[in-house]
Amino acid sequence: MRRTTTARRGLAAAALALTLGLSLAACSGDAGADPSASPSASSTSAASAADTAALAKVTVEGDAGAKPTVTLPSTPFTVTSLVARVVDEGTGAEITEGQTVSVHELAVSGTDGSAIGDTYSGTPESIVADDQLAPPLHDVLVGQKVGVRILIAAPGDSGTNVYFAEVVDAKDTPPVPARAEGEAVTPPAGLPTVTLDADGKPSITPLTTAAPTTLVSQTLIKGAGAPVTADQTLTVNYTGWLWDGTQFDSSWDTGDHATFALSGVIPGWTQGLTGQTVGSQVLLIIPPDLGYGATASGKIPANSTLVFVVDILAAS
């Protein structure tokens, strides 16, 4: 669950992981190069000609592998739809459908051109280059080569942001299991009862007692994988309920795993899943101060205690 809404892959891997991660998240030129000069510089046909032309005027300076300088032609910079283009083609191995790519990123505010954040001093973000990505991002990744540098402009509620991304690695994506697998753990008394159907989808029997005021992170199934670290990107299945048992979201219902940077979710998820092992199923009870606090979010009222059952399927 992201800081503002439940995590889903989609909008440019949620516009690459900077809106998403530094979330979705969470979802890159030689110095002095003219960005529009690249043979692959055009965006996909889904973007308007005006948006494509606008992104072509954004310039990138800096050497490959180093944090670049991204300059907008004017501010506020706006586009009406997600648009992406290649700035510099890579020289490494070809990026193929379904691979997991590691990308360094930098985000720039379209409002005033200021930097929002970047990953160059830390760990690259990971996204899967498949058809669950928004088409513009998919089209500037798949078929390109490691080292490709791209620009993305994404409109949002608070204005347009521009994202630079540089692919530093691409690896085949291990198959993701459908559910948690491992040793069952008997939880202590006093927690909502979790029941799994034949496919592993959870349901809960809520309690009528007062909700806990501190974070509960209870392992229900202990997976055999490595411990999760706070800087990783997770793939999970999950369901979320209010304390009274009202369900507000579930990846099981959509048939699609959720993928997100653990650094870009509500604090209860970051704290409660860090240290758990891959393959585990975890019951989280998150008090309001580690969730959305006094702010309502979608179907979640303000000051809500949240209950999640999370299957940790993969981490990268």
Query: What are 171-189's pLDDT values in tens digits?
Result: 998 888 999 999 999 999 9
| pLDDT score recorded for residue 263 | 86
pLDDT at 255 over 60: yes
| pLDDT score recorded for residue 28 | 26
- Between 123 and 1, the more confident residue is 123
Give me the architecture of the 12-171 domain, per CATH.
Roll (3.10)
pLDDT at 13 over 70: no
CA-closest candidate to residue 247, choices 288, 209, 201? 201
**Average predicted confidence (pLDDT) for the chain:** 85
Q: How far is CA 60 from CA 116, 119, 301, in A?
A: 16, 16, 42
pLDDT at 82 over 80: yes
Q: CATH 3.10.50.40 in the chain, residues?
A: 12-171, 183-315
Choose the weakest-confidence range: 127-136, 169-178, 238-247, 265-274: 127-136
Confidence of residue 21 (pLDDT cuts 50, 70, 90): very low
3-state SS class at 210: coil
Rounded average pLDDT over 247-255 = 93
Confidence of residue 125 (pLDDT cuts 50, 70, 90): confident
| pLDDT score recorded for residue 127 | 85
| pLDDT score recorded for residue 299 | 94
| pLDDT score recorded for residue 161 | 93
The residue to which tokens 């994506």 are assigned: 173
Candidate ranges 37-51, 99-113, 115-129; pick with highest mean pLDDT? 99-113
Strand-pair partners of 115: 108
pLDDT at 135 over 80: yes
Q: For the residues of 57-80, what is the DSSP string, one character each?
A: T-EEES-TTS--EEE-SSSS---S
- Tokens standing for 314? 């993969």
| pLDDT score recorded for residue 316 | 78
Confidence of residue 16 (pLDDT cuts 50, 70, 90): very low
| pLDDT score recorded for residue 47 | 67
| pLDDT score recorded for residue 8 | 31
The domain 183-315 having CATH identifier 3.10.50.40: the answer here is yes
| pLDDT score recorded for residue 259 | 84
pLDDT at 89 over 70: yes
Contact partners, residue 151, CB within 8 Å, separation at least 6: 28, 35, 55, 58, 60, 70, 84, 85, 87, 162, 163, 164, 165
pLDDT at 165 over 60: yes
Confidence of residue 254 (pLDDT cuts 50, 70, 90): confident
Evaluate whether 262 touches 278 at the Cβ level (below 8 Å): no
Rounded average pLDDT over 156-178 = 91
